Amino acid sequence: MRKIVIAFAVMAFTAACCKKGPEGEAKIIEKPDIQVQNGQFTPEVMWALGRMGQTAVSPDGKQIAYTLTYTDMEENKNNAEIYVMPTAGGEVTRLTTTAKSESDITWYDDNTLLFCRGTELISMNVSSKSETVVATFENGIEGYKISPNGKQIIYVATLPVKRPESLDPLYKGLDKTTGRINEDLMYRHWDNWVDEYPQIFLADFDGKVDVEHATAIITDGPYECPMRPWGGVEQFNFSPDGTQIAYTCRKKTGKEYALSTNSDIYLYTIADGKTINISEGIMGYDQNPVFSNDGTRIAWESMERDGYESDKLRLMVYDLKTGNRTNYTEDFDYSVGNIVWSEGDKEILAVVPYRGMNEIFAFNTETKSIRQISHGYHDVNSFLLNGDKIYASQVSMSYPATIYTYNVNDSIKEGTKLSTFNDEILSQVKMGKVEEHWIKTHDGKDMLTWLIYPYDYDSTKTYPALLFCEGGPQSMVSQFWSTRWNFQVMSGAGYFIIAPNRRGCPGFGQEWCEEISGDYGGLCMQDYMTATDWFANNKKQIDKERIGACGASFGGFSIYWLAGHNESCRFKVFLAHNGMFNFEQQSLETEELWFTNWDLGGPYWANTPQTKKSYANSPHLFVDKWNTPICVVHSEFDFRIVASQGMAAYNAAKLRGLDARYLYFPDETHWVLKPQNSLLWHRNFIDWFDKYLKG
């Protein structure tokens, strides 16, 4: 492998080495061998790190398999391979070396691993690494689960959305037309045109999948399972005896789908195909059902209110014998996710967004008592449970996804690090220190704000600072790690980062979370200004004359709004990524209309007190007060906040005579995911702020 040297200011970079296969075959992307100079964490170093994906623990609890992705920046491609290691720690074995990515790993038994590669489902003997193709799906599959007895499989495949027959004559003889005729809503979602929808199918499995005789589980309409855009295999499960399937579905289409979050949990009996709705009457999101180990109960995540996608996720349990439903978080002011029954079913474990971190909590099903298991400056993104051992995919602002272990009976523990695949690179990096600050808001409440220091901090110097504006809007500024917004990259560029958990962030009680709805220009914006001023006045190493602000999505809106309320020149430069600029347009352009209905109060013509207040805070109404350089970033395939919003903001800035820059990606979504596009995004980010805060 080549050795790549990353100098302090060198931008040229190749993120991975590639081995050429036989002539005509694609390259195999390998782990890079790099040397970081001066300890600076740059975007190039970030992209050199391995990105851990899925994990799976063998039934006997002795091995853990995981996928690890590396990037070839020259080829503009990523590739995931499968690795396995002992759960007690030790030598790592690479199981695959291919030019195609492997995904969806599942243990069939203690020595057999199932996974997807392209359109194939493959079985591997882990000891010999020999492979057998057990199924080929013409259009691929999006995930699967094997029944407890190993004899059946549920898999996710897509079906085409059928055009109304009344329109067929219009297309006669026009096989090359690209025109789309729509007569209903939700014709596009997140980043795709809705030309197909996911469905779950049940098939026999005896070493091969009987695809030809698979049974569609949902037959009463073209309904999604899993639900777009985020749902995966967590949205369906076999019962322990393999006789029933619980699944998540929002049985709505078109306008009804666009206006409602009312999904339900359905129980399907395999023998007769009968289906019942066990969450009927609960009007919000119900999702991710999990059977108890004894098969007598089903737990799931449940929201109470229709149309409110950020309502509290309650821990709901259904008794299959009595039909009774129990809410185990009635007196708990936080949401739950990634729910898992403990051995013996006395507790349900879940990930909880809690005061700036994502932690594992346990909920006692007998006493309803609640205890915290994990604790520290980290986020548990997800976890697996095997006996009394917990295997967590864990991150922080200072390290990417890594495997940590806990015990079920732990109480407020830091966890034990298991995987080491990024240690060699990270050991060369000087990460910026991360501090937790609780500051008073202008109305006297306590707000958690993270302060991240410049990477090579010297207390005798002063540094520029960036205010980070969170998206969501109901998203917590947690100990997250991302290749999109990475605080250590900003730190590596020589900046302090001020990251407030302003009004609207979950993890601080439902009241705090809900204070943003209908008040986009109110308390949450005051929180941003309060946090900025507090650090400017109390941290002498922050140069208050060199403070900028950045954010995406709701954070992008925040930038546009702050630009129109920057009379004191608190901020010297702005950067807005995929933000809302014109609320009237946003209310009609976005696809999930329940979002603007809830947070803005409805369409602008509703003329209610709430809508009048909401739309009066649209950033485009304050352009006449813009007085600060601004960089606008937007992407064509963002259907949540469409590209015209960014274009309008940029045009407005130029017409105002401001120094402005527009970075546009014709092939990206709400996020920038392609490697070279991401590198351009980061280089532009640093260059833009350096121009005004370091010049």
Q: What are the residue numbers of the active site?
A: 553, 638, 670
Cβ atoms of 120 and 104 within 8 Å: the answer is no
Cβ atoms of 352 and 336 within 8 Å: the answer is yes
Q: How many degrees, rounded to 5, is the angle at CA 553 between CA 616 and CA 642?
A: 85
**Whole-number Å distance between alpha carbons of 153 and 665:** 40
**Whole-number Å distance between alpha carbons of 439 and 447:** 5
Three-class DSSP labels, 387-419:
CCEEEEEEEECCEEEEEEEEECCCCCECCEECC
What are the CA-CA distances from residue 318 to residues 231, 292, 595, 613 (Å)? Answer: 21, 10, 29, 41
Which pairing describes strands 17-19 and 28-30: parallel, antiparallel, or unpaired? antiparallel
| CB atoms closer than 10 angstroms to residue 619 | 29
| Residues 115, 235, 55, 155, Cα dihedral to 10° | -10
**Whole-number Å distance between alpha carbons of 606 and 597:** 10
DSSP state of 644: H
**Whole-number Å distance between alpha carbons of 167 and 539:** 65
What are the CA-CA distances from residue 425 to residues 38, 45, 368 (Å)? Answer: 13, 8, 44
Rg (the chain; Cα; Å): 25
